Chain A
Amino acid sequence: MQFGIFTVGDVTPDPTTGRTPAEHERIKATIEIAKKAEEVGLDVFATGEHHNPPFVAPANPPVLLANIAARTERIILSTSTTLITTNDPVRIAQDYSYLQHLADGRVDLMMGRGNTGPVYPWFGKDIREGINLAIENYHLLHRLWREDVVDWEGTFRTPLQGFTSTPRPLDGVPPFVWHGSIRSPEIAEQAAYYGDGFFANHIFWPASHTQRMVGLYRRRFEHYGHGTADQAIVGLGGQVFMRHNSQDAVREFRPYFDNAPVYGHGPSLEDFMRETPLTVGSPQQVIERTLGFREYVGDYQRQLFLMDHAGLPLKTVLEQLDLLGGEVVPVLRREFAALKPAHVPDAPTHASLVEKARSEDPSVELVETTGAPA
C-alpha cells in the first residue's frame, strides 16, 4: 500500500498570527514539503492544479513536479487533481509524458473536474459540459498515449489528422491514471470502464458517501472485466493533525480548523471529526482511524493525507510529516499488509506496468529503458 500527501497549494493567513505567506515563500515551502515527504519515507507527493488566488498550486503540475523530480530519488509524483475539463488533452499527454522521462517513470496523475466555476469560462469552456468534457477529453488522452498516430474528431476540440503526441510515454507505458470525484457516479463509472484507479476525496464528506462511490466503482470495475470488485484500485484522501498528547493537537489545530477556507465558521471541530475522516489527536488515534477506512471501502491501494493547508506554518507541517512518516505510516504499512488478501493487487507503478506490458507481449521492443530505478 502507498502512503503520501496531497496539497492544494492554498495561500491562507495563519489565523494565530494573521500572517499570510508570500507566493514565493509558499511555492518554495511546497518543494521543502515534497522533499521532506520522501525523507520520512512516504511513497507519493501529489499537487493540485489552480489558476486563481488564493492558491499557488501550479497551473500546470508538471512544472512543479519536474523540479521535485530533480531533487528526489524515490517518491512518486502525482496530482490532486489535473483538470481534464479545461486543459487541452493533447497538452496533458505531452507534458506528463515529458515528466515521465524526466522523473524516470516516477509519475502518475489524477483526473478531476475542478472546484472553481469561472475556470471553465476562463479557458473557453462551459461548466454545464463538465462531465462530457471529462469523458471526451480523457478518451482522447487515453488514445494519444497508446496509439502512435491518432485521427480524432470530437465535440470540444479541433480535430486531429495523423497526429503523433511527443514524447511517447516512457518505455511505451502511459502513466497510471486515477479519476477523482467527490460526488459524480459518472466518474466512478469512467474509472471502472478503463480499469483505471478511483480516488475518493473522502475528506469533505461523510464515510457513508465515500462507501457508495467506491462501491459503485468496484462493482463496475468487475462488470467491465478488469478483475474482481475487490481487485479494483482505490485511493482515499485523509486529513490529520497530530501531537503526542491528543489535547495538545486539538488545542493547536482548532484555530486553523475554525478559520479554514473550506469548512471554517461552520461545524465544530468535534462535529467535523465525527462526520468526516478528519482526525486531530495522537499518532495512535490516527493509526486506529485510518485502519478503520478499509472497513467501508475494502482493501485499498493508496492513502494520501492533506497536511499543509489552512495557514499552518511550514515548521509545523514538517513536524507533522515527521510524525506521519516516523510513527504512523510504518505501523499502517504493517497492519494493512497483514490484512490484505494475496489476490488484491498493489497500486500500479511504472515498473509494474512495464512488467505487465512485457508479460502480455514479450515481442514488444521497449521504446527506451530508464536510466534510474523507478
Chain B
Amino acid sequence: MTSIVVISAGISVPSSTRILADSLGQATVRALSSVDVVETSTSYDVIELRDLAHLLTDNVLTGFPTGSLADAVRRVAEADAVIAVTPVYTGSYSGLFKMFFDVLEEGTLQGKPVLMAATAGTARHSLVLEFAMRPLFAHLRADVVPTAVFAASEDFGGGSVRGGSLAARIDRATGELADKVLRRGTTLPDDPFENPTPFEDLLNDLH
C-alpha cells in the first residue's frame, strides 16, 4: 500500500490551506490509481499542525516528540510521499510549519518525493515557494517535484475552467509526484537499531 502524508499548517477552520491540502491529496491518489498497473490501494492522510502546536513547542524545548506528534513524525518517516502545505506569513512559510520540519530526525526526508504548496491572500506572494520553501527542502535533501502549487484567495473561485488554473496546476504537480512515487517504489527507512554498523567498520572507517 502506498502511503501519502499531507502536512497542513493552516490555522483557521475552514482554512484555505487545508482545502488545498485535501485537493492535492485526492489528486495524488487519483494520479497513482490511474497509472498504477498493479492493484495496490493508495490513501492519503492529513497531519494538521495546529493540533500539534503545543507538542511541537515541547519537542523544541526537550528534544523528543511525544504523543500524537511522535505518531505524526513516524508517519512522515514511513510515507512514500509527502505533500507540504503552508499559509504565507510575513513573506515566508509559517513558524508552525517550520517547527515541524525542525523536529524531524536528520535524513527523514532524504530522497523522499515531496510536493510543496502554499496559500496566501494575493498572488504577489507566489514566489515564497521558490525562494523560501524550495531551499528548505533542498537542505532536507528531499526529492521535490518541479511544479509547486500556489493558491491565492482568488484561485478558489471560478478559475478552474481556464488554462493555467489552480486545478490544472494541481493535476500537473500531483502527476509529477505520482511519477516519482512509482519510479522509487515503496521503501522503508533504514533502522540503525535493527541493522547497526558493525564496530569493526566504524573503526576501519577512521583510517
Residues of A that sit less than 8 Å from B by CB: 131-132, 135-136, 139, 154-155, 185-186, 188-190, 192-193, 204-206, 209, 212-213, 215-216, 220, 224, 262-267, 271-272, 275
Q: Is the CB of B193 within 8 A of A185?
A: yes
Instruction: Please tell me if B202 contacts chain A, counting CB pairs below 8 Å.
Output: yes
Q: Is the CB of B196 within 8 A of A220?
A: yes
Instruction: Please tell me if B197 contacts chain A, counting CB pairs below 8 Å.
Output: yes
Q: Is the CB of B58 within 8 A of A266?
A: yes
Q: Mark B162-173, 1 if CB is under 8 A from A, else 0.
A: 000000000000
Instruction: Please tell me if B57 contacts chain A, counting CB pairs below 8 Å.
Output: yes
Contact of B61 among A132, A206, A266 (CB under 8 A): A266
Contacts of A132 in B (CB 8 A): 205-206
How far does the Cβ of B98 sit from chain A's closest Cβ, in whole Å?
A: 18
Instruction: Please tell me if B203 contacts chain A, counting CB pairs below 8 Å.
Output: yes
Contact of B207 among A155, A271, A275 (CB under 8 A): A155
Q: Is the CB of B203 within 8 A of A263?
A: no
Beta-carbon nearest neighbor of A224 in chain B: B199
A213 to B67, CA, bound (A): 20
How far does the Cβ of A214 sit from chain B's closest Cβ, in whole Å?
A: 11
A267 to B61, CA, bound (A): 8
Size of chain B's interface in residues, with CB distance under 8 A? 21
Contacts of B62 in A (CB 8 A): 204, 262-263, 266-267, 272
**Given A185-B193, A204-B64, A216-B193, is A193 in contact with B58 using a C-beta cutoff of 8 Å?**
no
Closest 10 CB pairs of A and B: A266-B61, A193-B199, A267-B58, A185-B192, A266-B58, A275-B66, A189-B196, A263-B62, A212-B193, A216-B193
Instruction: Please tell me if B198 contacts chain A, counting CB pairs below 8 Å.
Output: yes
Contact of A271 among B66, B70, B192, B196 (CB under 8 A): B66
A185 to B194, CA, bound (A): 10
How far does the Cβ of A257 sit from chain B's closest Cβ, in whole Å?
A: 12
**Given A189-B197, A190-B202, is A265 in contact with B64 using a C-beta cutoff of 8 Å?**
no
A-B contact pairs, 6 of them (CB 8 A): A189-B199, A193-B199, A213-B193, A224-B199, A264-B61, A271-B58
A20 to B169, CA, bound (A): 60
A275 to B67, CA, bound (A): 9
How far does the Cβ of B74 sit from chain A's closest Cβ, in whole Å?
A: 11
**Given A135-B206, A186-B202, is A205 in contact with B64 using a C-beta cutoff of 8 Å?**
yes
Q: Is the CB of B206 within 8 A of A136?
A: yes
Instruction: Please tell me if B14 contacts chain A, counting CB pairs below 8 Å.
Output: no
| B152-207 residues at the A interface, CB under 8 angstroms | 192-193, 196-199, 202-203, 205-207
| B57-116 residues at the A interface, CB under 8 angstroms | 57-58, 60-64, 66-67, 70
How far does the Cβ of A180 sit from chain B's closest Cβ, in whole Å?
A: 16
A132 to B199, CA, bound (A): 11
A154 to B204, CA, bound (A): 11
A216 to B193, CA, bound (A): 6
Contacts of B202 in A (CB 8 A): 131, 135, 186, 189-190
Contacts of B206 in A (CB 8 A): 132, 135-136, 154-155
A216 to B192, CA, bound (A): 9
**Given A206-B64, A266-B62, A267-B58, is A135 in contact with B193 using a C-beta cutoff of 8 Å?**
no
Known: A185-B192, A265-B61. 7 other contacts (CB 8 A): A131-B202, A132-B206, A185-B196, A189-B202, A193-B199, A216-B193, A220-B196
A206 to B64, CA, bound (A): 8
Contacts of A204 in B (CB 8 A): 62-64
A154 to B192, CA, bound (A): 26
A267 to B199, CA, bound (A): 37
How far does the Cβ of B49 sit from chain A's closest Cβ, in whole Å?
A: 17
How far does the Cβ of A254 sit from chain B's closest Cβ, in whole Å?
A: 16
How far does the Cβ of A196 sit from chain B's closest Cβ, in whole Å?
A: 12
How far does the Cβ of A160 sit from chain B's closest Cβ, in whole Å?
A: 16
How far does the Cβ of B136 sit from chain A's closest Cβ, in whole Å?
A: 21
Contacts of A271 in B (CB 8 A): 58, 66
Contact of A139 among B58, B66, B198, B203 (CB under 8 A): B203
